[in-house]
Amino acid sequence: MQKETEIKLRVSRETLAALREHPLLKKRNKSGWERRELMNQYFDTPERDLAQAKVALRLRKDGEEVIQTLKTRGQSVAGLSERNEFNWPLPKAKLDLKKLDGECWPEELAELDKKTLKPIFTTDFVRECAEIAWGRGKTKVVIEAALDLGHVVVGKQKEEICELELELREGEPAALLELAAELAEKLALMPCDISKAERGYRLYDAHSYSLSLPAPQITAETPLDDAFAALSWHLLGSSQRLAEQYRFNGHWRLLQDWVECLAEMRALISSLGQAAPRQSTHDLRIALDALLEDWRPLVQAGLEDEDVRKAAPEQFLEELEDPRWGLFSLTSSRWLLARTWAADRNTRGNRQGAAQLGSWLPRLLGEEATSLQLQRYQQQPEDLAEQLPRIERIQVWLHHARNVLEIPEMDRLYGELNKLAQLANESITDEVLDARKQQAIAVYQNRAWKMLLRL
């Protein structure tokens, strides 16, 4: 068994060609590019039991060599994935079920009849790979870079494979993100944690690709730094999965959810006060503001204009062809992995970062609720939009961490605040102004809101 740590980056054919000649890879390429044709057959039961257990089983033909591979459940965070991999050389291209024993076979599949495993799809592609190595401080880094071009095929359906895969052979996982971010400065590289197997399953069953990631486990005892990191990783990973699926099928709701993820990341970052000094979050805030400035108005316009919705998929593809989205994703991952927000803060910032969420969050929400001054917007509803950043800071914590608050009716308050935020985003009409007044009153009279004002 070996541990596989890698990052997958979707690219165009033009970018794939540019990567072969990239000065950074040329400088660090210790082996030259080796070309291989890889033919891969994936297996599962008719009920897709392996897919449900997050297991991938394949036979790979690499020249004259045949390899049986089992990849088990792992973890994937914002494009950087880690999982266990078992490989067995075989004399011929036929599954050897005896290899799938208790040592590698997941316990949850112990009762599965392995004789029901059948071929379900193929991923055939040409791989050009090279050993990329350099010194990083006092440690050596070795990464296998693979340029893959081919197709996933399920019956008469197929999807192109065109990606850069970076797999860590020696060194720290941070080196993968470091290399990827340097390459993404000028080239459009889209991090995505959808594997070739997941693409096959998605073609086999359009609903098999899960957009939802496990919710972070946050309690009242969780330190603020840990809660912020967990929520940020979750939002970044979710935004990448939404981007991948919207690119694939163009369903409007996915674009709305993508923009919402970005807005929540922006609100979360700006809520930390001295726990995240402004200089430490500057670049991230600028990148998020630029994305939101372009995409939030488009999503708002698309709520009422079908032509906007129809044109959006093509516009999104243009976004992905620009380095901006990939560079933002990769630099955000590096920022989170290094916990950059905590690097140069003062003593008070360190105390805030170490504070338990159950004590820090009520104070934050109480301060934000008091500063919002909802009574004013009952009289001046036309000015409500100026308070959107404050409303969103409250929203993001209520969305993901209201379980740590010992305050009744928090679910109801979250729903009422969502309505208020939606109205603040809408163009002003007499009807909207009246709705804003009524909604400001509904929030102000909410029992949970009144308790926040007393904190």
**What is 387-405 written as a DSSP string?**
GHHHHHHHHHHHHHHGGG-
Classify residue 351 by burial, with Cβ atoms within 10 Å: 0-12, 13-18, 19+: middle
Say whether pLDDT at 216 is over 70.
yes
Overall average pLDDT of the 146-166 stretch:
95
Per the prediction, the chain carries an average pLDDT of 93
Residue 154 β-bridge partners: 157
Beta bridge partners of 302: none
CA distances from 297 to 2, 267, 300, 301, 386 (A): 47, 17, 5, 6, 15
Query: In which band, very low, low, confident or very high, does the pLDDT at 79 lie, cut at 50, 70 and 90?
Result: low
Is residue 81 predicted with pLDDT exceeding 80? no
- The residues with which 76 forms a beta bridge, in sequence order, are 81
Question: Per-residue pLDDT averaged across 298-313, rounded?
Answer: 96
Which residues does 218 contact at the CB level (< 8 Å), separation at least 6?
A: 227, 230, 231, 357, 400, 401, 403, 404
Average pLDDT over residues 178-206: 91
Q: CA geometry: angle at 431 spanning 427 and 435, to 5°? A: 90
In the three-class reduction of DSSP (H, G, I as helix; E, B as strand; rest coil), residue 18 is classed as: helix
CA distances from 284 to 271, 322, 325 (A): 14, 18, 12
Residue 438 half-sphere exposure toward CB, CA atoms < 13 A:
8
Confidence at residue 18, expressed as pLDDT on a 0 to 100 scale:
96
Q: How many CA atoms lie within 13 A of 444 on its CB side?
A: 15
Give 315-320's long-range contacts (Cβ < 8 A, gap of 24+).
316/243, 316/246, 316/247, 316/250, 316/255, 317/247, 319/294, 319/295, 320/10, 320/188, 320/190, 320/243, 320/247
List the Cα angle 345/351/355 in 5-degree steps: 130
pLDDT at 358: 95
Predicted local distance difference test score (pLDDT) of residue 205 = 86
- What kind and span of H or E run contains 157? strand 157-170
CATH of 1-210, one of 3.80.10.10, 1.10.260.40, 2.40.320.10, 2.60.210.10: 2.40.320.10
Reference 239, options 133, 304, 336; nearest CA is: 336
Q: Which band of pLDDT confidence, cut at 50, 70 and 90, is reported for residue 211?
A: confident
Q: Is the pLDDT of residue 161 over 70?
A: yes
SS3 193: coil
**192 pLDDT band (50/70/90 cuts)?**
confident
Classify the C-alpha dihedral 6-234-322-309 as positive or negative: positive
- Which one is predicted more confidently, 76 or 235? 235
Q: Collect all residues with Cβ–Cβ distance below 8 Å to 24 and sequence separation of at least 6.
A: 179, 182, 183
Q: What is the DSSP letter of 47?
A: T
pLDDT at 104: 87
Closest CA to 294 of 274, 316, 275: 316
Q: What is the mean pLDDT of residues 412-435?
A: 94
Q: 76 vs 388, which has greater pLDDT?
A: 388
Spatial contact of 120 and 46, defined as CB atoms under 8 Å apart: no
Residue 184, helix vs strand vs coil: coil
- The model's pTM is 0.91
Among all chains, which residue has been given the structure tokens 């969420």? 357
Give residue 264's pLDDT.
Answer: 98
CA distances from residue 66 to 41, 60, 92, 150 in whole angstroms, order as listed? 11, 6, 6, 19
Is the confidence at residue 74, as pLDDT, over 80? no
Q: For residue range 17-42, what is the model confidence (pLDDT) as tens digits?
A: 999 999 999 999 999 999 999 999 99
pLDDT band at 5 (very low <50, low <70, confident <90, very high): confident
